[in-house]
Amino acid sequence: MSADETKAVVLLSGGLDSATVLAMAASQGFSCYALSFNYNQRSVSELNAAKKIAHLARQHKILDIDLSAFGGSALTDADIAVPTDEPEGIPITYVPARNTVFLSLALAWAEVLDAHDIFIGVNAVDYSGYPDCRPQFIQAFEQMANLATKAGVEGQKITIHTPLIDLTKAQIISAGVALDVDYAATVSCYQADEKGAACGVCDSCRIRQQGFAAAGVVDPTRYQR
């Protein structure tokens, strides 16, 4: 790598948040290595969206990891229906330890790349009640990462960047529009069809719709109905 290249691993789901994070990391001058996962999620169109958005990255890897082997979530277990009503507590769409697993794999790639920066689009405002989207989780992960790795042992600092953590969905969308993020290419829906059209009724669709409305931005999402 060139002397002035600073590498970062960016977790890229293909949704609105991670697309914005990738644009932010690139705009800050990081050379971005985007990482997506094929974890037998219901919505494969999310991965197709990730491929479209990844042009801002220097490299894009899609890693296969079969989280459905463990079951336990509506997003990976075909026997559990995606709910359409307002959830209370931790919803059934929560995938057990998902961000822990994804950040761990980002850390593995960062270590190989000799990168010390990892970006993730977690959000503590519209976070759907997932425990692994909270700031205290991210801080604990960063602390662990610095003890887990060669970089940490050698006194370098690994940083987990969460540029969206305190933003509302509307603020995320406004920031992304300013960075020319193509939101029409992103997929947020938990049960989008093969062409990436959204259901419009799941928790994730509702949060996204409200975000565009609050930002005063025309919603470019394609809906199934």
The residues binding a second copy (CB under 8 A) are 61, 63-67, 69-72, 90, 94-101, 103-105, 107-109, 111-112, 131-132, 134, 136-137, 140-141, 143-145, 147-150, 152-153
Residue placing its CB nearer to a second copy in the complex, 132 or 221: 132
Q: Could you tell me the CA-to-CA distances from 25 to 34, 52, 60, 100, 161 in Å, in that order?
A: 11, 17, 14, 21, 9
Residue placing its CB nearer to a second copy in the complex, 2 or 136: 136
Least distance to a second copy, CB of residue 169, Å: 22
Least distance to a second copy, CB of residue 67, Å: 7
C-alpha distance across the termini of the chain, in Å: 48
What tokens were used for 122?
Answer: 């977690």
Least distance to a second copy, CB of residue 209, Å: 27
Strands 31-38 vs 7-11: parallel, antiparallel or unpaired: parallel
224 in Cβ contact with 197 (< 8 Å): yes
Residue placing its CB nearer to a second copy in the complex, 51 or 134: 134
Least distance to a second copy, CB of residue 8, Å: 15
3-class state of residue 118 by DSSP = strand
Residue placing its CB nearer to a second copy in the complex, 118 or 175: 118
190 in Cβ contact with 93 (< 8 Å): yes
